[in-house]
Amino acid sequence: MKLPFSKNVISLIVALALGAFTLILVNMYLAKERKTIEAEKNRELGKEVAVVVATSSIPRGTKLTQNMVQVANVREAALQPRTTGSISRVVGQVAIADIVAGEQVSESKLMSAASALDLNREKQPEQAVSSGSLAMKIPAGKRSFTIDIDEVSAAGGMIRPNDYVDIMGIFPFTQQVGASSITQNVSVALLQNIMVLAVGRQITPVEAQADKGRVGGGGTITFALTPQQVELLSFAHDFGKLRLILRPPLETQIQPIPPVTADVLWQQILQQSGMQMGEQKDAKAEAPEKKASPTVEIYRGNEKEVKSLD
C-alpha cells in the first residue's frame, strides 16, 4: 500500500525537522555563550562579600547606633577600602566625616568615642566646639584657602562658618585709547556660591562662640575652593580689593554678572537722571495752563485804569 504523502509534503516535513533541529542548536549555543559571559562577569566583579552600609545619612560627629547601619552584600570589585562586615565594629564609633545613606562604612571615617573626647580636650578653647579638624570639613575636590579681610569687606563681620558668599573684586584696569593709556577701576564678580569653612579659627557656627568667630579689625576667612579657584583668588587678593557678599541659605544659582567700570556707572547715573528729568517734564506738561482773566481799559483824561471782569 502506498503512503498518501506526496513529494512536496515529505520535503516540507524534512524542512520543518531541519528547522527545529537548527533552532535547538542555536538555543544551545546561546545558552553556552550566556553562561560564558556570566562566568566572565563574575570573574571580573568577584564574589559577593558582606559589608556594613549606612541605612541613613550620618552627619560628621555622630555616634553610630545599631539602627544606623545594616549588613549588605556587594561584589568584591565594588568593595571600598577599610570596610568591615561586622556591625559590632562600627557601633559606638564616632563619624569624623559625613556618611551618606547606602554608603559602605569605612573605618577611615570613624574614630572611637574615647579618642574623640580626648581630641576635644586637647584643643584650644576657641576650637573645642568643633568636632574634627578643618581637613575633615573640606569637600572632596576642594582645597582650603585663607585670606585676610576687614570687617566692612566681610559683610559687616556677620559671616559665619558654613555660610555661602559671592566674592567681588575691584581692580585697576589699563586700556589703550588712541595714543594714551587710561587706567580705571573695574568691579568684577570673581566667584559665586563659595562655602566658608572657617572664620578666624572658628569652624562651626555656634552662637555661643559668635564673638570668637567674628571678623574684627584684622580677621581671616577660609574658603572651600577648587585648585583653579585657589589660583585665581590668590592672584586677585594681592592685585586688588576683595569684598564678600553673603548669600541666602537656599540661593545656589550662579548667574553671569558683567563687569562695572566708571563708564558703566556714569551711564547708569545719567540714565536715571534723564528719566527723572523726563518725569518732571511730563508732570509740567500734564498741568493745565492757567488762562488769563479778561480785562477792560478805562480812560479818564490822561489817566488809564485796567480792571478785571472776573
Is the model's pLDDT at 96 over the cut of 70?
yes
Is residue 249 included in any domain, yes or no?
yes
Per the structure, the complete domain to which residue 203 belongs is given by 143-262
Q: Element (H or E) spanning 14, and its range?
A: helix 7-45
User: Do 101 and 199 fall within a single domain?
Assistant: no
pLDDT tier at 137 (50, 70, 90 boundaries)?
Answer: confident
Within this chain, do residues 205 and 101 fall inside the same structural domain, yes or no? no
Q: Does residue 83 or residue 295 have the better pLDDT?
A: 83
Examine the domain organization and report whether 110 and 166 are in the same domain.
Answer: no
Is pLDDT above 90 for 54? Answer: yes
Segments of 120-216 assigned E as strands: 143-149, 164-177, 180-199
In-domain check, residue 132 = no
**Is the pLDDT confidence value at 124 over 60?**
no
Which of the listed residues 246, 262, 278 is the one where a domain comes to its end? 262
Q: Do 206 and 236 have their domain in common?
A: yes
Do residues 171 and 84 share a domain? no
Q: What angle do CA 33, 39, 45 make, to 5 degrees?
A: 135
CA 106 to CA 74: how far, in whole Å?
Answer: 14
195 and 98 part of one domain = no
Mean pLDDT of the chain: 77
Which stretch of DSSP H or E encloses residue 205?
Answer: none
Q: What's the whole-number mean pLDDT along residues 280-292?
A: 58
Q: Model confidence over 182-219: pLDDT tens digits?
A: 788 888 899 999 999 888 888 876 543 444 445 544 58
Same-domain status, 147 and 254: yes
Give the lowest-confidence range in 182-186, 258-262, 265-269, 299-303: 299-303
Given this model, what pLDDT does residue 310 score? 62
pLDDT at 240: 87
- Specify which residues 50 forms β-bridges with: 73
* Segment 276-294 mean pLDDT: 58
Domain identity same for 171 and 81: no
- Give the mean pLDDT of 239-260: 85
**pLDDT > 70: percent of the chain:** 75
Is residue 47 classed exposed, middle or buried when 0-12, 13-18 and 19+ CB atoms within 10 A define those classes? exposed
User: Does pLDDT of 224 surpass 50?
Assistant: yes
Higher pLDDT, 286 or 39: 39
Q: What is the mean pLDDT of residues 229-253?
A: 87
Q: pLDDT at residue 301 above 70?
A: no
Would residue 309 count as lying in a domain? Answer: no
Please say if the pLDDT value at position 131 is more than 50.
no
Percent of the chain topping pLDDT 90: 13
Tell me whether residue 231 is in a domain: yes
Residues 158 and 252 in one domain: yes
Instruction: Please report whether residue 107 resides in a domain.
Output: yes
More reliable by pLDDT, 283 or 33 = 33
Q: Are residues 113 and 149 in the same domain?
A: no
Residue 120 clears pLDDT 60, i.e. is over it? no
Q: How does DSSP assign 249-278, residue by residue?
A: TT---------B-HHHHHHHHHHHHHHHHH
Residue 162 falls within a domain, yes or no?
Answer: yes
CATH number, residue 73:
3.90.1210.10
pLDDT by residue (tens digit) across 58-86?
A: 887 788 899 999 999 888 878 888 888 88
Question: Predicted confidence band at 129 (pLDDT cuts at 50, 70, 90)?
Answer: very low
Q: Do 169 and 242 form a contact (C-beta atoms < 8 A)?
A: yes
Is 115 among the domain residues? yes
Q: Which of 90, 122, 154 is the last residue of a domain?
A: 122
Whether residues 196 and 256 share a domain: the answer is yes
Quick one: 92 and 152 in the same domain? Answer: no
pLDDT the model gives residue 288: 59
Total domains in the fold of the chain: 2
Q: Which of these three, 242, 262, 282, is where a domain ends?
A: 262
- Decide if 17 is inside a domain: no
Residue 189, Cβ density class (10 Å: 0-12 exposed, 13-18 middle, ≥19 buried): middle
Q: ∠ CA 60-75-103 to the nearest 5 degrees?
A: 15
